[in-house]
Chains A and B, each alone.
Chain A
Amino acid sequence: GESVGLHLPTLSVQEGDNSIINCAYSNSASDYFIWYKQESGKGPQFIIDIRSNMDKRQGQRVTVLLNKTVKHLSLQIAATQPGDSAVYFCADVGFQKLVFGTGTRLLVSP
């Protein structure tokens, strides 16, 4: 069918729940990965990063998991809050270029 716009996957959660946002990448040469949060009307904001020699990294309320075998990343947000509502992008760096995925919209209900 005709595409009228980028259809973002949406994840709806209740406040206090844990959120898991998934991302697949295609570039086998990528060795650095970043998760960004983008709120309406703002630029992407760095959340957490991970290098290819790791499979897990934790920050404050966030954890990133990397599975290089299947080229998959996930972002876990613990105790999700209304302020976490935004679009989340994974991005990978290969050959000096940061390339973004399509993004996931996270909706947090009070």
Chain B
Amino acid sequence: DAGVIQSPRHEVTEMGQEVTLRCKPISGHDYLFWYRQTMMRGLELLIYFNNNVPIDDSGMPEDRFSAKMPNASFSTLKIQPSEPRDSAVYFCASSFDSNYGYTFGSGTRLTVV
């Protein structure tokens, strides 16, 4: 298994632009999580899905952030419009069960200038 696959690895964009981050979870994993990591706040859970349905989005910072999971093998995190304070590393993780294993992708480093 290739693990959790995220793209792109790095993204540099100008303030105001739309950014889309992508994630392919491990096949058979029913849970998918989006995390953000910054020096100021550490690793924060933004949103998670179970069987493609968003369960808890209380960590999403504001309406500029949205996430979708159209099918079991693909999820996107979109920021529109992007701001410099959104600069961070965004991780996607998936798990077979909420009480078993959580595998992380390599992350997308986002820089908004």
Contact = CB atoms under 8 A, between A and B. Distances in A.
Q: Do A and B come from one complex?
A: yes
B111 interface: no
Contact of B91 (A43, A46, A97, A99): A43
Contacts of B93: 43-44, 98
Q: How large is the interface on B (under 10, 10 to 19, 20 to 34, 35 or more residues)?
A: 20 to 34
A42 interface: yes
Majority secondary structure, A binding face? strand
Interface residues of A, number: 25
Given A31-B99, A96-B48, A97-B45, A43 B40 contact: no
A103 B44 CA distance: 12
Contact of B42 (A34, A36, A97, A102): A102
A43 B107 contact: yes
A6 B103 CA distance: 24
Interface in B5-43: 31, 33, 35, 38-43
A100 B33 contact: no
Nearest to A89: B43
B99 A93 contact: yes
Given A43-B91, A96-B98, A6 B107 contact: no
A103 B98 CA distance: 22
Contacts of A46: 101-103
B40 A5 contact: yes
B113 interface: no
A97 B59 CA distance: 11
A54 B99 CA distance: 15
Nearest to B38: A6
A90 B22 CA distance: 26
Given A93-B99, A97-B56, A100-B42, A44 B48 contact: no
Interface of A: 3, 5-6, 31-32, 34, 36, 42-46, 49, 51, 89, 91, 93, 96-103
Interface of B: 4, 31, 33, 35, 38-43, 45, 48, 50, 55-56, 91, 93, 95, 98-107
Pick the 10 closest A-B CB pairs, nearest first: A43-B104, A96-B98, A100-B43, A5-B39, A44-B104, A32-B99, A43-B106, A43-B107, A102-B42, A6-B39
